[in-house]
Amino acid sequence: MLQQSNLVDKFLSYLHVERRLSNHTQKAYQRDLRKLADYCEAQNITSWQALDHHYVRKFVAEQHRIGLGGASLQRLLSAVRTFCEYLIREEILTNNPAIGIRTPKTSRKLPDVLDVDQTNQLLAFNDKDPLNIRDRAIMELFYSSGLRLSELVNLNVNDLDLNNATVEVTGKGNKTRILPVGRYACTALMEWFEQRQKFLRDSNSALFLSRLGRRISPRTIQLRIRERARKQGISTTVYPHLLRHSFASHMLESSTNLRAVQELLGHENIATTQIYTHLDFQHLAKVYDQAHPRAKKKPGSRVKTFKTP
């Protein structure tokens, strides 16, 4: 039996209280560390002090062997590395045995995006039903400011400053950023404010309310956006993060300012933002193939292959 098993619980409390990580992230850490604890017990490791570089490398290799993919292995190793840093802080370990261990590289899937015409088609409705007015304000704000779903759900009325066309957002790691709000989004939000009083119960400060007067749930937003996209004739599945991806892609296409887009999205690492440059290149390559006279292939023609002499 692994001694000091309560250290995982203390670590999770540290993530909640000091690091202020989301519940979703805490649960992911908990699952990954449960796997590590099970592995240690199977290897007859009785204390965290006995966890060394050799055991961690074998643990990662075993998880890969049973089918865990590259991205999941990277997340798993990140959880182990962070936990070991905590154990060093608590003077349980003297060094981090997870440092220097590599996981198999994984190809990064490019995010789906709506093009500008599809986005305009999605937002081209002017239904006067109060809930539809709310939904339009939600979608305009997603696309105008590139918010995450959790960020939008947690917005309060006081976070929005329509006079200056800005919104203050609390993102990952409890970090705040102030974002511009576009003209169309401001108009949609003002229309929603006129309707919001109809749903207000008990002085709820939430910006977006459900039909029962509670803070709107993430699931409700997902379902309402999907249904609205279907009504607008969008063939692809539309979800909140798709609007964030579309915002980022369209911003880069127009400005090519990667650092600015990083700030707007709230990415800690610019490498996360760089994936949208690949989308931009795909767009340019498509335009090139359609427009350049020597890029077009003749019908039925085959590309010749050449062998190096």
State the catalytic residues.
148, 172, 241, 244, 267, 276
Cβ(53)–Cβ(100) below 8 Å? yes
CB half-sphere exposure, 48, CA atoms < 13 A: 23
Measured CA to CA, the distance from residue 1 to residue 122 in angstroms comes to 57
Q: In a 3-state reduction of DSSP, which class is residue 160?
A: strand
Please state the length of the chain.
309
CB 248 within 8 A of CB 148: no
Angle made by CA atoms 111, 22, 242, in degrees to the nearest 5? 20
How far apart, in whole angstroms, are the C-alpha atoms of residue 159 and residue 220?
21
What number of other Cβ atoms are within 10 A of residue 121's Cβ?
15
Evaluated on CA atoms 189, 142, 271, 285, the torsion sign reads negative
Q: Which two tokens stand for residue 94?
A: 């003297």
Q: Which two tokens stand for residue 91?
A: 């003077």
- Residue 296 contacts by C-beta under 8 Å, 6 or more apart in sequence? 289, 290
SS3 assignment, position 300:
coil
Whether 118 contacts 105, CB under 8 Å? no
- Residue 277: which region, alpha, beta or left (left: phi > 0; alpha: psi -120 to 50)? alpha
